[in-house]
Structure 1
Amino acid sequence: MQEAKRKSAASYLLGYRTKEYFPGGYLVINSRNELKHIVEKPKPGREPDNLVNILVHLHTDPERLLEYIEKVKTNNDDVYECALDNLVKDGHKIKVISYPDFWAPIKYPWHIFDAVKYLLDISQPGISTSAYISKKATIEGKVIISDNVRVLENAVIRGPAYIGSGSIIGNNALVRDYSHIGADCVIGYSTEIKGSYIGDGCWTHSSYIGDSIIGKGCSFGAGTVLANFRFDEQKISATVGGKTIDTGRDKLGAIIGDNCKTGVNASVMPGIKIGPNSIVGSSVCLTKDLEPGKMIVSEPHYRTLPNPVKLDETKGKELKKRLEKLGGTEPEK
């Protein structure tokens, strides 16, 4: 806005100098910070510069811009960018202002992690006066606990972390490493949440959720594991629009839409996406994306046979006697 008050151009764009590849538009400028050209989604290693378009624009002549947009002929999703290029070619001055502060694009789901990290880092820790924290629970580091939260015995919250209003952190649960727990969640007994974003109204029980993004209203059966690390320790890929995308992350769990469920002992491999309103059945090991509104179940084949095993009660009694001697003294007879 300050630059616009100087009336140094007809349009103004914010640009950000990124330290790593970003799959978006790159701004090519001259020595006066005026736009020369926009390079839309170059391949990694072919970027013209590190100045990216962060889509905060001010146009003093929007009618002219709309005229140029109507004239664009392209089969790609770059109509707006082509219009800006054509404006520049016809002498329309567009000034690019570099934005120096934090910027996190949310182009892909895993970009949420960067935004959560930033917001937790700049936030002040605090525990609502209406929250209940058991004396046997452990709260460490920068933790934000909202209204009417309950943290039960032997639960551990190791910040930075955020716990939404009305949520329950159950016995022996562990929440850690930049995790966000939405409102009205139940993080049940012996669940571990590591570096994950969990929406409102989710339930877990004896589950492991690592570096995952979970929509609202999801439920995870006992023993569910959302794996987040490859055996070969390489970067994790995800499929987006039929294309394989390198996420740039060596730890990434599942990306799950709203209102999904898993059965007991279900496993989801790193980088897998599950569409909204879907179910992963008991004992399923999910290695491919699951479309919205689908259910995947395992179909094991079992045989029923006569039981040939005869139990030896003496072995059990002998083991119990040995256990009773633990502690250095025998019980009185």
Structure 2
Amino acid sequence: MQMVILAGGKGERLKPITDTRPKPMIIVAGKTIVERLIEAGYREGIRRFVVVTGYMSDLLSKHVGEVADRLGVEVETVRQKEEKGSGDALLTASSSISEESLVVYGDLLIDDSVIKKVVSLRAPLIVGVRHREPWNYGVIVERSGEAVRVIEKPDPSEVKGETLINAGIYVLSPDMVRHVEKIQESPRGEIELTDLVEILHREGRGLRVISIDSSEWMDIGRPWDVLEANKRVIEKTPERTVLGEVEGSVTIKGPVYIGRGARVKGHTYIEGPVYIDEGAQVGPNAYIRPFTYIGKNAVVGFSVEVKASVVFEGAKIPHLSYVGDSVICEKVNLGAGTIIANFRFDEQPVKVWVKGSRISSGRVKLGAFIGGYVKTGVNSSILPGVKIGAYAIIYPGVVVSKDVEYGGVVKSSI
């Protein structure tokens, strides 16, 4: 069996995180999403992988090549020329599919138990998971354990309670993959892989439906999902692991991972679970609170408090800052005294602009999403739910209450 990872999507809903990286390269507790998928397949004996790329193809191809070299597996990358849906992505890879294939969407966090279950069955199937917001996904219609069709993003009035949705995981034979050619373009101009389900059912070759628990699966499609994904992985940290340097006056509570070359300076207080990656510098006098990930070679300096946040590689929060429930992308530099608020006065869930709509995150505590290479001046303040595009510059003393576009320059409060 081989694994096919559909990783060509642009990830518009995940901006500004995807301003500078494709969504399969988003970091989840020290590893990218696509790296975790390849490793999960490897642990179940899969040695050949096909990765369909698109947005930032060269960057993604290089990354999966490095993962392949480390694991000693074969990874072939195939570029999707234009973003025309998951069906088109699989069709792009069809010439590279010569055996039964585990097909997986490239923006999923999946427990090993799911891959193990699917691989062991070795039968054509589609995986479903019960979800409280089925209108955001494709709903599986089944009959006697067989998938009849998938209804994409049904009207909320038509679905009640937890409903079985398409988890984006299939097992397909090479012949089934070739049937993708029969799919007609959807009204939005895409080839939807989910239409294959109905085609196979009509031909008497319906896919078996396998249901998994929602705790085993997560779709990373919105900015705050990055926080939840990291939390899910970090909270499984079994014990304290210290491979770096920790000065004597540091206090560590609970399970904490400190990678090689990392340094935690004096009078820092860390409450696990926390993951501090290789080469990171923390402290002195820093306060790192649960469910925080600090990336490779990142700096969290003097009198900085970081709570339940994700700090990507090379980011710098050097001194006198508060970062709560936020995503700080690579090479960001927060000026001294930068504060990211994470709580509304009215105590209501924080709303975020996503693809032109302001939607509720469902989270009462939510900070900001700061794209790669952003710089903030001293004493700047960023309010809950704000997104700042990559390469933006925020001047000193500015209060940011609205989103900032890619490369934007903000000289006065907005």
- Which structure is richer in relative contact order (CA contacts within 8 A, separation 6 or more)? 2
Q: Counterpart of 2:3?
A: none
Q: Larger radius of gyration, structure 1 or 2? A: 1
Distance 1:237 1:176 in 2: 24
Distance 1:2 1:128 in 2: 36
After superposition, the C-alpha distances for 1:78-117 in whole angstroms (9 at most, x for unaligned) are: 6222343344345441211112351121011211222212
Match of 1:38 among 132, 140, 150: 150
Q: Which runs of 5+ in 2 are unaligned?
A: 1-118
After superposition, the C-alpha distances for 1:235-277 in whole angstroms (9 at most, x for unaligned) are: 1111111112221111111111111111111111111111111
Distance 2:403 2:283 in 1: 30
Distance 1:282 1:78 in 2: 48
Match of 1:54 among 157, 167, 172: 167
Which amino acid is the alignment partner of residue 41 of structure 1?
K
- Structure 1 residue 259 corresponds to structure 2 residue 373: yes
Q: Counterpart of 1:66?
A: 180
Call closer, same or farther: CA 1:19–1:63 in 2, change over 3 Å: closer
- Structure 1 residue 271 corresponds to structure 2 residue 368: no
Call closer, same or farther: CA 1:167–1:64 in 2, change over 3 Å: closer
Runs of 4+ in 1 over 4 A off after TM superposition: 19-22
Call closer, same or farther: CA 1:232–1:73 in 2, change over 3 Å: closer
Q: Which runs of 5+ in 1 are unaligned?
A: 6-10, 300-333
Call closer, same or farther: CA 1:93–1:214 in 2, change over 3 Å: same
Post-superposition offset of 1:20:
5.3
CA contact (8 A) 2:267 2:284 kept: yes
Q: Counterpart of 1:169?
A: 282
- Structure 1 residue 107 corresponds to structure 2 residue 221: yes
Q: Counterpart of 2:412?
A: 298
Q: Counterpart of 1:317?
A: none
> Structure 2 matches for 1:1-333, cutoff 5 A?
1-5=119-123, 11-19=124-132, 23-30=136-143, 32-44=144-156, 46-47=158-159, 50-60=163-173, 61-69=175-183, 71-75=184-188, 77=190, 79-100=192-213, 102-129=216-243, 131-204=244-317, 205-298=319-412
SS of equivalent to 1:28? strand
TM-score (normalised: structure 2): 0.66
Which amino acid is the alignment partner of residue 258 of structure 2?
I
SS of equivalent to 1:188? strand
Post-superposition offset of 1:298:
1.8
Query: Quick one: percent identity of the two aligned structures?
Result: 35
Which amino acid is the alignment partner of residue 210 of structure 2?
I
Q: What is the aligned residue count?
A: 291
Which amino acid is the alignment partner of residue 235 of structure 1?
P
Call closer, same or farther: CA 1:127–1:83 in 2, change over 3 Å: closer
Which amino acid is the alignment partner of residue 127 of structure 2?
L
TM-score (normalised: structure 1): 0.81
Which amino acid is the alignment partner of residue 312 of structure 2?
G
Call closer, same or farther: CA 1:21–1:141 in 2, change over 3 Å: farther
Call closer, same or farther: CA 1:225–1:29 in 2, change over 3 Å: same
SS of equivalent to 2:229? helix
RMSD of aligned Cα (Å) = 2.1
